[in-house]
Structure 1
Amino acid sequence: MNKQIKPLPILQGKTAFAINLISQVSVIVAQMVISLFLTPIVLDKMGAEAYGFVGLVNNFVSYVAVITTALNSLAGRYITIAHHSGDQESAESYYSSVFFANCVMAVAVLAGSVLLAANIESVVSVSPGLVEDLQLMILLAFFNCALSLVVVVFGIAAFIKNQLYLNSIAQLVSSVIRAMLLCILFLTVAPHMWYYSAAAVVASVAFLALQIWTTRRIAPEYRVKATCFSIQRVLEILKSGLWVSIESINKLLLTGLDLWISNLFVGAYQMGILSVAKTIPNALLSVSNSLSSLFYPKCAELYAKKKTDELVKQFGFAMRFTAAVMIVPLAGFVAYGLHFYELWLPGRDVSELLLIQRLSVLTVVSLLASALVEPLYYANTLTNKIKGSVLITLGFSLLVFAIELSLLLFTELEGLFVIASVSSVVMTFRHCFVQPVYAAHVLGLRGSSFYKPLGKEAVGLFVVLATFAILSKALPFSSWACFLISCLISAAIGYTELSLLLLDREERRKAFGMLLVRRR
């Protein structure tokens, strides 16, 4: 006799959003702690080259996403819209079809990893002593990628029910497991690069178990069934997702190839320096993406129910909210980054720290522009009208690639600054001048609809930057305690400025209300 599964309570409204936000932030904080604690250890024990390969292998895995994203980027959209439209049969068919298609891709990923590991010396410049370590890291990293493909559909249940905090809790548990394993390995035994991938595999197994457990309790109607598999469903998603894959190629050309290009054109050590410089900006990028994603389930629901006016308001508020939260940490990193690196990487040469800070600022510039418009990118996926956006961005991507190669091959400009700056400039233009117009277009609005809030956000950004520039001269940063206190003071001032500049009284009330967890 089967034991009855006790369902989890379904949270709604402001309570759901607040818990989603707290859970997402907890995951990000856990991941940042891993980077903050382990990066100096790895640099000291293994050197910049080895640390650079950790980031490079992660980039190799992201190249695989160019293929897999065609299916998985839109899987949640198709399942969610079918679910909220009352077409449960189609929703379950999409669910099972995506799972089995991902299993096939997982096998292909594993086969490809073996070929890459066997021929890695012809792909990158690597010191002989690191070859075997790098090969093992590649095999484990791609095994983790294959495992992640299997997990995808089990995370969709929380999206459908707008209970993203359950996914975040699972991510938090897996992040803690990964952090514990990495700390134990690096602090107790001889250091190796493959520890990163091995710990990720163990964490992914835990994440998979928690995702399955969650799905069975909040959406028991969704089960993987071979009888529900439909190749037509897979092809339907792939047809729409083809453009998302091309968009992934755009991202590779803009930023995803930077470590590989650095390795080939500048050197393995310089690649490691660039990898260090991108560590914190990449973590901040995940914050922006996570904040924006909290609004997507509601946007998908409103779109499925054809509530256009409410959908437009939801996008507008998501844009304001994300910018209000993200401007402070990004601007703070620009203003206080050098102080942070002096504390985080003690003993490093001053010139090296200045180089890392300058590269970081170049990376953060495009993230600042992205933070102002990040929610608008979901309009492309939601309306399934991404072709024009992808083609425009592809043009920019090819331009960036051509400019970078030309400058690296035919000029004497510093290679690292070429790699970091060219893509940053182009991406900033993409965020500020292309996406607002295209998002308005696909939503059926005037092309200038989003420029008024974008202008207010830009004013808020410059005010906060100016404030932090003044505070950087007045506040103490000589120790971690002083640094943290100074950051808290700056954050309080910055968020006060942004709440007054970006949000009206009603929006401030709404924003604060969403951040509060209330008992029902």
Structure 2
Amino acid sequence: MSNKFYTILNLVTGLFTVIVQFATSFFLSPFIVKALGAEANGYTQLAANFVMYASLLTTAFNSMASRFVSVAYYQGNIDKARGYYSSVYVANIGLIALLLPISIVVALRLEHVIVIDNVDVLDVKLLFVCIFANFFVGLISSLYSISMYVKNAIYYSNILNCIRTICNAILLFAVFSLLPVKIFYVSFVALMLSIFLIPAYVYYQNRLLPDVHFDKEYFSWRAVKDMLSSGVWNSVNQCGHLLQTGFDLLLANLFVSPFAMGLVAVSKTIPSAIIQLATTINNNFSPSITQSWAKGDMGSIMKELRIAIRISIVIESVPIVTFCCLGIQFYSLWQPTLDPYILTLLSVLGCMAFIVVAGTQILYNVFTASNHLKVNSLTFVAMGVVNIIIVYCGLKFYPRYNMYIIVGTSSVLAILRQLCVVLPYVSRLLGVSCTIFYKETFLTLICCAVNTIIALAILKVCTISGWLSFIIDVVLVGVLAVLSECFLLLNAEERKRIKQLISRRK
């Protein structure tokens, strides 16, 4: 099978996994909110954010491990690949030993770290304990997923994640229905599933990459230094991400109220799904781009980037615009106990950046493949600092708009960074004109504008009175939007080839 086939397989399974994850969240979230209240959903998301804070350390070692192992492997240096793998193995064990006592202290004194109202304190503490434990288990399983990246077989990981998501939903519905309602069930079930899946990751590691395994004799401080010197910029990048969006719930909890935190958490469901969608697309194109870079094949990289950008535009812009136009109707049906107008506005502010970024966000893979992370990471942190300053001033002088300021500021800054930093810098790394990528951004905006017209026209003609009519409208918008984007994004030759393929099948 060709490398392109596996890339497509990675993408298809990744998208299917995202759909399954969103579907389970779609059914579980109102179930949890109804059973526990909006605050409980907010605490669950806030606990996940605390894990993101801890990942600032682990990202420095783990984010570039797959890249270094892959490059060494495809350059024919198996011993070097073993050295990188064995070194990150030891580094992760050391990180667990370092972070474990810190997480225990945070969990025990949690009521002194965040505001806990209207819920059982012990219940919230157990929630955090299980999420922290799941984070440590994830560090272990990530070691065995390196083989999937190297062999461009991420579809195995996608399938495992899909199975875990389905089992997670079934088990949560079961425990919430059969046992007394507790918040920590959410993280406890996730922890158990992560533990049960470790043998599967070990199996695929041994099957896909049997000649690269842990051996203490191959541990190398030089390898640690190589990965840390590059990976530290991903940690800096992660820090910038936290400063822009990772503190949303914490700021809402501390400066507004736990209920406001719950509203923000619910409103981030769709933006989080879009981010997950974008991440899935990026991750599944990353191995092939890294392989082409290792081989010095710039022609293949440009072809892959063009295809990936166009695919990303279609896959991301259609759900973004559809939601922005039908958001009020969606929240009225999905979360009838909460204000649909507030939730829709918050969600639109959270999605706003992707209206511009969708498509060209695939270019982040170039930073990893080329091992040029510094500029991207430093500008991300700079924008994050600016975000915190603006949000703090906004909360102080315009408290009436507190939630909107918290959510919307980061989106505006993300758009500015993409246009002013990312596109020009990637163009420089690839040695091409930056107008190539600005044209792709312009195409994204045109596609979103056309899709908006389609969605509003259908909404005006077809009245939504329930889930059935809502689903019909969404399907109509989706089909027409995809057709319009295929016309806008494909050239005459590409459209001709598709018509020939269809006619042959007939």
TM-score when normalising by structure 2: 0.95
Deviation at 1:490, TM superposition (A): 1.0
Write out per-residue CA displacement over residues 366-385 of structure 1, whole angstroms, 9 at most, x where no aligned residue: 13233231111111111111
One-letter code of the match for 2:361? E
Paired with 1:77 and 1:502, the residues of 2 have a C-alpha distance of 31
Deviations 1:86-144 (A, max 9, x none): 11110111111111211211222321211111221121111274211111111111111
The corresponding residue for 2:359 is 372
- 2:102 equivalent in structure 1: 112
Of the candidates 116, 122, 127, which is equivalent to residue 126 of structure 1? Answer: 116
Distance (whole Å) between structure 1 residues aligned to residue 463 and residue 435 of structure 2: 43
Rounded to whole Å, the distance in 2 between the matches of 1:149 and 1:510 is 45
2: CA distance, partners of 1:151 / 1:32: 23
Verify the 8 A CA contact 2:60 2:227 in the aligned structure 1.
yes
Structure 2 CA distance for partners of 1:494 and 1:206, relative to 1, 3 Å: same
Worse-matched range after superposition: 315-324 or 492-501:
315-324
Q: Look up the match of 2:447.
A: 460
How far does the alpha carbon of each residue in 1:212-243 deviate from its partner, in whole angstroms, 9 at most, with x for none?
Answer: 11122222112222222112211210011111
Q: Which residue of 2 aligns with 1:295?
A: 285
Shift of 1:191: 1.5
Aligned to 1:74: 64
Q: Which residue of 2 aligns with 1:4?
A: none
User: What's the counterpart of residue 52 of structure 1?
Assistant: 42
Contact conserved, 1:173 with 1:207, CA < 8 A, in 2? Answer: no
1:111-510 correspondence to structure 2 within 5 Å: 111-127=101-117, 129-346=119-336, 348=337, 352-507=339-494
Compute the displacement of 1:393 (Å): 2.2
Runs of 5+ unmatched residues, structure 1: 1-10, 515-520
| Aligned partners of 1:383 and 1:443 also within 8 Å | no
Q: CA deviation at 1:284?
A: 2.0
Letter in 1 for 2:116: V
C-alpha separation in 1, matches of 2:30 and 2:82: 47
Which range is displaced more, 362-371 or 131-140?
Answer: 362-371
Structure-2 separation of matches of 1:459 and 1:49: 39
| Alignment match of 1:87 (pick from 77, 86, 92) | 77
1:434 and 1:302 map into 2 onto residues whose CA distance is 24
Could you tell me how far apart the structure 2 residues matched to 1:266 and 1:215 are? 47
Shift of 1:288: 1.5
- Given that 1:366 and 1:424 are in contact with CA atoms closer than 8 Å, whether structure 2 keeps it comes out as yes
Q: Distance in 2 between matches of 1:239 and 1:513?
A: 50
Distance 2:332 2:473 in 1: 15
258-267 or 207-216: which moved more? 207-216
CA distance in structure 2 between the partners assigned to 1:356 and 1:271 by the alignment: 12
- Secondary structure at 1:414's aligned position in 2? helix
Cα shift at 1:506:
4.6
Report if the CA contact (8 A) 1:144-1:204 is conserved.
Answer: yes
- Residues in 1 aligned to 2:99 and 2:314: alpha-carbon distance in whole angstroms: 40
Query: 1:330 & 1:457 partners in 2: Cα distance?
Result: 12
Q: Which amino acid aligns with 2:50?
A: F
> Deviation string for 1:444-497 (max 9, x for gaps)?
223333112222222112111222122221223222222112211111100001
Contact 1:373/1:432 (CA < 8 Å) preserved in 2?
no
Q: For 2:22 and 2:393, how far apart are their aligned partners in 1?
A: 35
* Cα offsets for 1:403-448 (capped at 9, x unmatched): 1001112333321011011111111222233211111112222333
Q: Distance in 2 between matches of 1:471 and 1:249?
A: 42
- The answer (yes or no) to whether the contact 2:252–2:261 under 8 Å persists in 1 is yes
Q: Distance in 1 between matches of 2:493 and 2:10?
A: 22
Please say which of residues 24-33 and 499-508 is displaced more in the overlay.
499-508
Task: Indicate conservation of the 8 Å contact 2:230/2:371, yes or no.
Answer: yes
Residues 40 and 119 of structure 2 are in contact (CA less than 8 Å); yes or no, is this contact kept in structure 1? no
| Identity among equivalent pairs (%) | 28
Deviation string, structure 1 residues 176-203 (Cα, Å, up to 9, x no partner): 2222221111121111111111111112
Higher alpha-carbon deviation: 70-79 or 15-24: 15-24
After superposing the two structures, state which structure 1 stretch, 121-130 or 12-21, moved more. Answer: 12-21
Give me the whole-angstrom Cα distance separating, in 1, the residues matched to 2:420 and 2:268: 25
Distance 1:477 1:159 in 2: 44
Q: Is the 8 A contact 1:274 1:359 kept in 2?
A: yes
- SS class of match (1:192): coil
- Aligned residues of 1:436 and 1:447 also touching (Cα < 8 A): yes
Q: Counterpart amino acid of 1:216?
A: N
| Corresponding residue SS for 2:268 | helix
Counterparts of 2:292 and 2:194, CA distance in 1: 32
Residues 507 and 265 of structure 1, relative CA distance in 2, 3 Å threshold: farther
State the one-letter code of the partner of 1:357: T
Cα RMSD, aligned residues only: 2.0
Q: Shift of residue 282 of structure 1?
A: 0.3
What displacement does 1:26 show? 2.2
| 509 and 233 in structure 1: CA distance in 2 versus 1, 3 angstrom threshold | farther
C-alpha distance 513-255 of structure 1, shift in aligned 2 (>3 A): farther
Q: Is this contact kept in 2: 1:174–1:206, CA < 8 A?
A: no
C-alpha deviation, 1:512, in angstroms: 11
| 1:510–1:45 Cα change, 3 Å | farther
Inter-partner Cα distance in structure 2 for 1:511 and 1:321: 15
Return the alpha-carbon distance in structure 1 between the equivalents of residues 205 and 355 of structure 2. 36
- Deviation at residue 30 of structure 1 after TM alignment: 2.0
